[in-house]
Amino acid sequence: MKDKPRSALAVCAHPDDIEFIAAGTLLLLKEKGWEIHYMNLSGGDLGSLTHNREETRNIRTQEGQSAAKILGATFHDPVSNDLEILYDTDTIKKIAAVIRETHPSIILTHALCDYMIDHENTARLTVTAAFVKGMKNYQTNPPREPIGNDVTIYHGMPHWLQTPLRQKVRSGLYVDTASVQPKKREALAAHKSQKEFLEATQGMDFYLVAMDELSRGVGKLSEKFEYAESWNRHLHLGFSVNKQDPLAEALHDLCLVDEDYERQLETPR
């Protein structure tokens, strides 16, 4: 009997966030034989200037499903609304249920410090939901049996590669996404409703070009890759028995670890 493939779960705030920061990494993991899972916490109900909230949520959920299909990922339904992703027990229980269902060794999510609160709360919620994955007395919604496997959480770079206070950021791990950039772009293009909305509200000119420029900017930070996604590894305490870096191990031939940065993190102050 063949072993079950290892699993990676991306948890982001809104439809299209995964495409901006994590789709390349997911595609490369899938090429290595991993199962990949796709979850946006919000249905994206505020992302329109022409449709009401229910219509917008339906449109954007369908777009997310289409994007997940392009990536070859299992889609998990949203559990919240735009600007209502709150750090609360109900949301933690729902994310924890998905984590127990998918048995991920890798979880990809937002930076803990990003330009909007939905992103930050998504990261915090995901961390807590992963922390309770094996707690027998913690009841998820829907109920799911606890799991005992180790998990490593990775936080993506904040949008535009800086904190809300405009501080530049560094990363410990860069993933070369050049080979999958066309597929990443195709998945982002599935979110058709967002092109005009983002250009009108946030000035993200040409949408797909904005994603390419972000990936190119991360690649420039790596000083090695043309296009890249980058990740900072969460402290292992409470999530795995030992320090481990399964993303670097899985994509060893397609990634760059910033050893100097990692040494700084490991050095006692």
pTM value?
0.94
Let me know if residue 31 belongs to a domain: yes
Let me know if residue 148 belongs to a domain: yes
Spatial separation of the C-alpha atoms in residues 93 and 142, rounded to whole Å:
8
| CATH number for 76 | 3.40.50.10320
Let me know if residue 2 belongs to a domain: no
Q: Which domain holds residue 15?
A: 7-266
Quickly state the pLDDT bin for 1 (edges 50, 70, 90). Answer: very low
Let me know if residue 127 belongs to a domain: yes
Let me know if residue 224 belongs to a domain: yes
Query: Looking at residue 203, what is its pLDDT?
Result: 62
Assign 103 to helix, strand or coil: coil
Let me know if residue 171 belongs to a domain: yes
Let me know if residue 110 belongs to a domain: yes
Read off the pLDDT of residues 9-33 as tens digits, 9 standing for 90 and up: 999 999 999 999 999 999 999 999 9
Read off the pLDDT of residues 78-118 as tens digits, 9 standing for 90 and up: 999 999 999 999 999 999 999 999 999 999 999 999 999 99
Spatial separation of the C-alpha atoms in residues 55 and 212, rounded to whole Å:
29
Let me know if residue 203 belongs to a domain: yes
Tally of structural domains, the chain? 1
| Extended beta strands in 98-217, E state | 106-109, 152-156, 173-176
